[in-house]
Amino acid sequence: MLSIPKFVLPDRSVVEKSAGPTSYSYALYNYYGKGPIAAAKRRRFQRALSLGAEAAPNAQRVMDMGCADGLLLPSLARQYRSVVAVDVDETSADRSEALRQALNLDNVQVLCNSGVSTADLRTRVGSDFQLMFLLETLEHVGAQPDMWGTKIQFLHDCFSLMTSDGRIVISVPKMVGWVMLYKNVLQQSLGMGHDALTWRQLLRSSILRDTDDLEPLWAGHHVGFNHLKLDKHLAQAFAVLRREESAISVFYVLGRKNAASS
């Protein structure tokens, strides 16, 4: 019987302590609220865990690439023999490490890969990962002027850390379509953080799903990211073994093209 890991939200007080003196973190802002947006984001973690278990049922060694504040690590530590968590942001890596220590996650290793090449990372952690989680990270990865090409190269680098039949579970936010319009209007009305778009830009990306004039504005954040364009680039470079959507996210399970049937 397939074992599906359950996403368990760590106690808020532990996450607050791990956040340090500011008591603020990405995790606290996004996942500990009582509203529908926070609930949807928590369900996103659960769906990603389920997809990972289904895609790589025998995986023992996994990586959380772009681990942020480490909120997924307790759930991964319960399910898998060995977990490596990586983030390019030093503050995020420090918070993940503090959470790891507070919860005694002895089978988890946390690394900051700022300034670390893929080859150096491979030397440090190996290339035998059977499963990788890349959740709400890919939209932030890359460089101008080749935003899409550098995202795809990053994924090739990720696969170089994995076994030949390794699987990557990805989630990205929906940044075009009606959900984008609803989210932006709701966030503005509630005084929450929102994307700084003109009404013309917002309506064009929402209704027409056209982000051509926004892509030059992409600088590692959400503005200019289009999951529909990502669909096409992923299909060209990898085996997209599964694709599904929730209200706010798109999920993919990727394999190498030459190992799609493994």
pLDDT digits (tens, 9 = 90+) for 206-219: 666 777 787 887 88
Q: What is the pLDDT of residue 217?
A: 77
pLDDT digits (tens, 9 = 90+) for 72-101: 999 999 999 999 999 999 999 999 999 999
Q: What is the pLDDT of residue 262?
A: 45
Cis peptide before 145 (omega within 30 of 0): yes
Is the pLDDT at 140 greater than 90? The verdict is: yes
List the 82-87 sheet strands across, edge first.
Answer: 108-112, 82-87, 61-65, 129-135, 162-173, 249-255, 239-245
Q: What is the pLDDT of residue 1?
A: 62
Supply the DSSP symbol for 215: G
For the chain, percent of residues with pLDDT exceeding 70: 85
H/E element holding 73?
helix 73-79
Q: Which of 9-13, 111-115, 207-211 has the lowest mean pLDDT?
A: 207-211
Specify which of 37-46, 178-187, 192-201, 249-258 reaches the highest per-range mean pLDDT: 249-258
Among candidate residues 214, 218, 74, 220, the one with its CA nearest the CA of residue 136: 220
Domains of the chain: 12-174+220-259 (3.40.50.150), 176-210 (no CATH)
Is the pLDDT at 239 greater than 60? The verdict is: yes
Q: What is the pLDDT of residue 26?
A: 76
- Residues 128-157 have a mean pLDDT of 96
pTM of the predicted protein model:
0.89
CB contact set of 234 (below 8 Å; sequence gap of 6+):
152, 155, 240, 252, 254
pLDDT digits (tens, 9 = 90+) for 145-157: 999 999 999 999 9
CA dist., res. 163 & res. 21, Å (int): 40
